[in-house]
């Protein structure tokens, strides 16, 4: 039975291997460099899935700067490829799994917008509680599989997203006015910074560094580790504001058809490896967040806390209800119910 299933997978998904006795290759890709949380989680997943499948599953991890397996594309294209199971339009490479920020994932999978509601996670422990819950591992995954042909085999946490800019120190809400801030092409993140008073320009992640360097925009927002690995101090980013409206979270997404075509024991190996890789990444990030902050300071960046954080929270939470219809795929009540379920899980 295994040989028959492997043969179907090889034919349907272009996996490397000419003999049925060879391991099944899971092709993963991210447009982030080695040492990033994305690559760290995928490398841990690769190690664990090989172990739990007794070598029947192996990974090929593409990332930015990898001379052997370079990144295949940016986040949005990666997700489109994982959802469709189709090859990149410029070549014949298929992606079975990718890591993507929830703000970008929700451009397609609208339900995931609840993860980007500003200030929904009061602390990182609340996110851990949610991602370990049946609500995420079963209910949300069932919807992702049904509507988008993907499943989240693990949820990553990258720290709170903080704003950087090249022009001035920002510690109060009124000081953001006049700054041109990049956000992903995510309506909630865009609307949040508009509500704060910034001028917003939405850009793909791959274009952000150059736009900062060319001073087409004044700033952006991301966790310390992303700011560090992106070396934004080389793109005129001087000031860091600890406003943290969004906790960076993102799924390890896998093509659902690819997953379901595997025997149950290999599905179980993937699920176990994905969850454990995520738990590993959580601890990895927490241990490094303060060191990342110190590295930013060493590289000439100034890090400041808010003087009026509650004001930022109040402004941001006023826009929650405007997102319920979007989260519910056009159904306001359904979207509101999703958010209420999330808040119950976090508080229980």
End-to-end CA distance of the chain: 44
Q: What is the mean pLDDT of the chain?
A: 91
Cβ proximity of 39 and 33 under 8 Å: yes
Looking at per-residue pLDDT, the higher value among 187 and 111 belongs to 111
Q: Is the pLDDT of residue 252 over 80?
A: yes
Query: How many CA atoms lie less than 13 Å away from 302 in the CB half-sphere?
Result: 11
Out of 93-102, 231-240, 268-277, pick the least confident: 93-102
* Confidence at residue 91, expressed as pLDDT on a 0 to 100 scale: 62
- Kindly give the pairing relationship between strand 239-255 and strand 302-305: parallel
- Separation of alpha carbons 150 and 63, rounded Å: 21
- Separation of alpha carbons 21 and 19, rounded Å: 5
Q: Is the pLDDT of residue 4 over 70?
A: no
- Separation of alpha carbons 255 and 52, rounded Å: 19
- Band of residue 226 on the pLDDT scale cut at 50, 70, 90: confident
* Confidence at residue 348, expressed as pLDDT on a 0 to 100 scale: 80
Q: Is the pLDDT of residue 84 over 50?
A: yes
Q: 217, exposed or middle or buried, with CB in 10 Å at 0-12, 13-18, 19+?
A: buried
**Residue 226 CB neighbour total at 10 angstroms:** 23
pTM for the predicted model, two decimal places: 0.82
Q: Is the pLDDT of residue 161 over 90?
A: yes
- Separation of alpha carbons 200 and 173, rounded Å: 15
* Confidence at residue 219, expressed as pLDDT on a 0 to 100 scale: 98
């Amino acid at each position: 039975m295994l040989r028959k299933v492997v043969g179907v997978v090889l034919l349907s998904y272009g996996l490397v291997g000419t003999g049925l006795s060879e391991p099944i290759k899971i092709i993963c890709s991210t447009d982030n460099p080695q040492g990033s949380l994305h690559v760290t989680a995928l490398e841990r997943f690769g190690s664990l899935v090989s172990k739990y499948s007794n070598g029947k599953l192996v990974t090929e991890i593409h990332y930015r700067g990898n001379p052997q397996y370079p990144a295949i594309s940016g986040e949005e294209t990666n997700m489109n490829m994982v959802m469709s199971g189709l090859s990149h339009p410029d070549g014949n490479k298929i992606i079975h799994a990718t890591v993507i920020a929830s703000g970008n994932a929700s451009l397609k999978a609208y339900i995931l917008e609840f993860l980007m509601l500003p200030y929904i996670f009061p602390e990182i422990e609340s996110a851990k509680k949610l991602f370990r819950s049946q609500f995420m591992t079963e209910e949300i995954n069932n919807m992702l599989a049904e509507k988008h042909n993907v499943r989240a085999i693990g949820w990553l946490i990258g720290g709170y997203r903080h704003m950087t800019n090249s022009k001035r120190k920002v510690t109060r809400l009124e000081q953001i006015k006049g700054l041109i801030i990049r956000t992903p092409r995510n309506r909630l993140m865009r609307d949040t910074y508009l509500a704060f008073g910034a001028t917003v320009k939405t850009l793909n992640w791959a274009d952000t560094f150059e736009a900062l360097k060319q001073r087409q925009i004044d700033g952006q927002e991301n966790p310390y580790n992303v700011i560090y690995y992106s070396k934004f101090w080389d793109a005129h980013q001087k000031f860091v504001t600890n406003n943290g409206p969004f906790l960076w979270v993102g799924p390890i997404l896998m093509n659902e058809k690819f997953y379901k075509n595997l025997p149950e024991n290999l599905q179980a190996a993937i699920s176990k490896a994905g969850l454990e890789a995520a738990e590993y990444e959580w601890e990895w990030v927490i241990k490094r967040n303060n060191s990342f902050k110190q590295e930013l300071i060493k590289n000439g960046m100034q890090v400041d806390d808010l003087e009026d954080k509650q004001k930022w929270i109040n402004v941001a939470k006023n826009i929650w209800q405007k997102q319920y219809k979007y989260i519910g795929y056009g159904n306001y009540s359904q979207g509101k119910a999703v958010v209420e379920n999330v808040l119950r899980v976090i508080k229980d």
